[in-house]
Amino acid sequence: MKKQKTSLPKNNSFPSPALFLDRDGTINHDKNYLSDEKDLKLYKNIEKPLIKIRKAGFKIVIVTNQSGIARKFFTLTKLKKINSTLVDMLKSLNVKVDGVYFCPHLGDECSCRKPKPGMAFQAAKDLNIDLKNSYMIGDSIRDYLFGYNFGGKGILVLTGHGRKQAEKIKDEKQKPLAVAKNLSQAVNFILEVERLNG
């Protein structure tokens, strides 16, 4: 597992919940092994739900499987450039990202490849995150399972590969907390759950 440095805030005394986000297909359009920052294209109005969730007290952490490194489709240096560009693009839209974590491995034997929770555990240690009250949003079954595996909750979005993945949910013992049309709908669902549990 690799952590990519962003301008991280100092930890507060009490842990904060986080919104963990998959990258490709959730924040930006999935280009199938995105290998150049010039091909990054954010979903329209993606900043609105992210600003909303930050105002609600959630940190924002990007967690992404990137086996393209192990497959030699692109280099570690290139991946870091792509991630840095993404963070800068979001920053220009007034969205602060607290951390970016990625798994460069191929296969499920490592502890950091989603749905295994290694990236979340590292983020919790680095950023003082309350995992129990955190959420994961992504466009694959492995993403929402990652949310449950770190002790939080997971939501599937229908962007990216989400529609095809939604067809396979019936075969999974663990279902997502919700299936949302997009990130905005998923965030609204989270905020409603938080309001009701408040």
Q: Just list the catalytic residues.
A: 22, 24
Q: With beta carbons less than 8 A apart as the criterion, state whether 93 and 52 touch.
A: no
The SS3 of residue 4 is strand
End-to-end, the C-alpha distance of the chain in Å comes to 34
Q: What's the CA gap between 51 and 172, in Å, rounded?
A: 32
Distances (CA, A) of 170 to 107, 115, 141, 159, 183: 24, 18, 11, 19, 22
Structure tokens at 121: 């555990």
Residue 79, number of CB atoms within 10 A of its CB: 23
Within 13 Å, how many C-alpha atoms sit on residue 171's CB side? 6
